[in-house]
């Protein structure tokens, strides 16, 4: 291996087994391999958005490829190149998700008390009281945080445990790839998951509606459960609201404990703001904190984003932290909330991920059933989620506006009587918002 860059190129080549080349180019052409430090590989993304997408969609694949190539367990850290100068060194350190997502850093209030207590119980005594633990709630309320916190505690108390953390969507994609590659790979896939002592699956809602994935997961679930291994799942909704989840799966998920997380109340929001400000080392006047707590009510991720932004402005321009400055930042954070302004590329990406069909197939002339439905869905979502006109939408897909109209009418009609389709649309919109 000549250099860190050669290594990175090899990793990207390996990724081509699981992702279309266009997808890899889209996310990695302007990323830079920074260093390999012990078992930690540091990658710099061009900006915050790309950093987040790389972290959420590619961590597992990158870590697997690195681990394969180097023959040792490697963990990935992704930096945000755009904000490098403004972030102090300790911030960059803590951008490794695992380290940051601990119970110590988690503020407990009435809205998340049950989920927190259950997560603690599971972390301290895996596979004892609550198996599986199923945590559900809207986006940005701390589900992933709790999941990692469990993983961190168990990793410390049981260093020998095999802990697997995976996103529902990656689980699905991995399985699909394994299926395409044949029996040997499916075997490998099964073995990998069935050896887990602690299986953490984030956003399990992604497996709903996908028969083969559900089937495979059902067997994995049973095998682990019977062997006395702990399973923790998170989802954006409770099992009974996952329309296309098979009944036997719903029953399994409800065997243990269902714990919901609600948006935090005012006092908890204040406590979170104080904790985040302290951690970032910025003084925010009480009245400004109250203003933030009053204006951002439903999402902890946004609270965090606001404090970070205030800190950056304060540091860069020396502007005083006032209520009016906070208002501006709050408006901006609300408006840049991913998903509020989805673009056609984001929609195409989400549809492509969901159906495991490359974007270029969606945009091509192919007429096979497995591309027609994703294409019509993508057209429908572009019309629904952006302000693109029919002709503009047609241009995106290299098609006539009547084709778009036909697709939209069809899906509008079908979703009324088709719970599965309704569920898929709901999931896709969530995915786009979380991209």
**Which of 307, 381 has the CB closer to ligand ADP?**
307
**Which of 119, 272 has the CB closer to ligand ADP?**
272
Among 76, 141, 150, 293, binds ligand ADP (CB under 6 A): 141
Q: Which string of DSSP letters, residue by residue, matches 100-166?
A: H--STTPPP-TTTHHHHHHHHHHHHSTTTS-SSEEEE--TTSSHHHHHHHHHHHHHHH-TT--EEEE
Site pattern 109..128 for ligand ADP (x: CB under 6 A): ---x----------------
> Which value, to the nearest 10 degrees, does the dihedral of the CA atoms of residues 368, 28, 66, 84 take?
-150
Using CB under 6 A as the binding rule, the residues of this chain from 291 to 330 that contact ligand ADP are 300-301, 304
Count of residues engaged in binding ligand ADP, rule: CB under 6 A: 16
Q: Which residue is nearest to Mg ion (CB)?
A: 144
> Which value, to the nearest 10 degrees, does the dihedral of the CA atoms of residues 262, 132, 57, 137 take?
-10
Residue 140, contacted partner among Mg ion, ligand ADP, none, CB below 5-8 A by kind: ligand ADP
Count of residues engaged in binding Mg ion, rule: CB under 5 A: 2
Stretch that binds Mg ion, among 71-79, 141-149, 170-178, 238-246 (CB under 5 A): 141-149
Q: Is 237 in the site for ligand ADP (CB under 6 A)?
A: no
Stretch that binds ligand ADP, among 102-110, 172-180, 323-331, 416-424 (CB under 6 A): 102-110
Among 56, 59, 77, 144, binds Mg ion (CB under 5 A): 144
Alpha carbon of residue 272 to chain centroid? 21
Q: How many CA atoms lie within 13 A of 128 on its CB side?
A: 9
**Which of 302, 356 has the CB closer to ligand ADP?**
302
Rounded Cα distance, 350 and 353, in Å: 5
Q: Is 107 in the site for ligand ADP (CB under 6 A)?
A: yes
Among 66, 119, 272, 307, binds ligand ADP (CB under 6 A): 272
Q: Which string of DSSP letters, residue by residue, matches 295-315?
A: H--S-HHHHHHHHHHHHHHHH
Q: Is 235 in the site for ligand ADP (CB under 6 A)?
A: no
Phi, psi of 83 (to 5 degrees): -105, 15
* 8 Å CB contact between 394 and 404: yes
Rounded Cα distance, 249 and 218, in Å: 7
Interacting residues toward ligand ADP by CB under 6 A: 101, 105-107, 112, 139-145, 272, 300-301, 304
């Amino acid at each position: 291996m000549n250099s860190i860059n050669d290594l990175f190129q090899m990793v990207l080549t390996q990724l081509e087994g699981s992702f279309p080349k266009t997808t890899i180019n889209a996310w990695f052409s302007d990323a830079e391999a920074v260093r390999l430090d012990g078992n930690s590989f540091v990658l710099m993304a061009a900006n915050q958005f790309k950093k987040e997408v790389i972290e959420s969609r590619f961590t597992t694949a990158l870590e697997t490829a690195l681990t394969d190539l180097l023959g040792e367990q490697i963990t990935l850290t992704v930096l945000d190149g755009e904000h490098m100068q403004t972030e102090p060194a300790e911030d960059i350190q803590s951008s490794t998700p695992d380290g940051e997502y601990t119970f110590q850093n988690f503020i407990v209030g009435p809205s998340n008390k049950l989920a927190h207590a259950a997560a603690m119980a599971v972390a301290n005594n895996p596979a004892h009281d609550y198996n599986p633990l199923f945590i559900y709630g809207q986006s940005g309320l701390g589900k992933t945080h709790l999941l990692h916190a469990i993983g961190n505690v168990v990793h410390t108390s049981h260093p020998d445990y095999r802990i697997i953390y995976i996103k529902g969507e990656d689980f699905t994609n991995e399985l699909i790839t394994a299926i395409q590659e044949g029996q040997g790979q499916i075997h490998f896939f099964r073995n990998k998951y069935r050896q887990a002592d602690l299986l953490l699956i984030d956003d399990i809602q992604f497996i709903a509606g996908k028969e083969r994935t559900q089937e495979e997961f059902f067997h994995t679930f049973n095998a682990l459960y019977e062997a006395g291994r702990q399973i923790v799942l998170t989802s954006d909704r409770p099992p009974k609201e996952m329309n296309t989840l098979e009944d036997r799966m719903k029953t399994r998920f409800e065997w243990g404990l269902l714990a919901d997380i609600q948006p935090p109340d005012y006092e908890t929001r204040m406590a979170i703001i104080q904790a985040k400000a302290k951690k970032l080392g910025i003084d925010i006047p009480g009245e400004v904190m109250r203003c933030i707590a009053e204006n951002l009510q439903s999402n902890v991720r946004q609270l965090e984003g606001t404090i970070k932004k205030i800190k950056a402005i304060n540091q860069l321009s020396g502007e005083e932290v006032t209520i009016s400055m906070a208002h501006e930042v709050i408006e901006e954070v609300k408006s840049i909330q991913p998903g509020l302004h989805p673009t056609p590329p984001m929609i195409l990406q989400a549809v492509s991920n969901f159906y495991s069909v490359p974007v270029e197939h969606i945009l091509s002339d192919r007429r096979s059933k497995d591309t027609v439905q994703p294409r019509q869905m993508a057209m429908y979502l572009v019309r629904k989620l952006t302000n693109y006109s029919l002709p503009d939408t047609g241009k995106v897909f290299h098609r006539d506006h009547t084709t778009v109209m036909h697709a939209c009418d069809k899906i509008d009609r079908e979703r009324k009587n088709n719970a599965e389709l309704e569920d898929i649309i709901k999931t896709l919109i969530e995915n786009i918002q979380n991209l």
